[in-house]
Amino acid sequence: MALIDRVKERTGTDLSDTELQSMIDAIAADLDARLGPTGEITVDLGDLDDPDARYLKTLKLSRPLDVALTVTVVETDPADTGAAEDELTLAADDYRVLHGGRTLQRLNGGTNPRDYWAPLVSVTYTPLGNAGIVAARDEATIKLVHLDLSYRGGLKSERAGDYQFTLGTDPASEREAIIDALATRPGMVMA
């Protein structure tokens, strides 16, 4: 079920799809800015100022990659030209994934054999456990939309018979609590 449909079902709102999607997009942008993006990422590895970087046989990824999904590795040598002809997209047999997806080892027996990594390597991949992060973010998005829709200037609840009302807490603190719960999830890496 699409996220917008889940939001409509759980909040019971009568807002238009356009308005709800705007709210969802704003929340997603805020979560991406604060916690880092979900989905496929690209990291550039290599130290152009270190002359010994040309002799690295392994590269370390800060977030382990999901080997079941597509991985693209592009070497650039020399790294300072920016020319497309200096880039080489590696085949899957040019490197090996080790240590649960945290390490890439360069192989000298693949389609593009080489003893060491090029000075600049770009790796595009989906981090391991991404599906769980996306599900948690969807749930947090639903809660945040519900919070935005239900906030009535400090009024948390109200009753008609024998009139009663309760003032709510600050919505900003409730919002932060929802986002903090995402940030403290095991396996979540702050970007």
Question: Residues 74-120: pLDDT tens digits?
Answer: 998 876 776 778 899 999 999 999 999 999 999 999 999 999 998 88
b/e for 67-100, b at 16 or more Cβ within 10 A? eeeebebbbbbebeeeeeeebeebeeebbebeee
Q: Which phi and psi angles does 38 have, rounded to 5°?
A: -105, 170
CB atoms within 10 A of CB 1: 6
Distance separating alpha carbons of residues 117 and 20, to the nearest angstrom: 47
Identify which of 99, 184, 81 has the alpha carbon closest to the alpha carbon of residue 133: 184
| Domain ranges for the chain | 3-38+130-183, 41-125
Res. 145: pLDDT tops 60: yes
Please give the model's pTM, rounded to 2 decimal places.
0.63
Strand-pairing partners, residue 97, are 104
**191: pLDDT confidence band, cut at 50, 70 and 90?**
very low
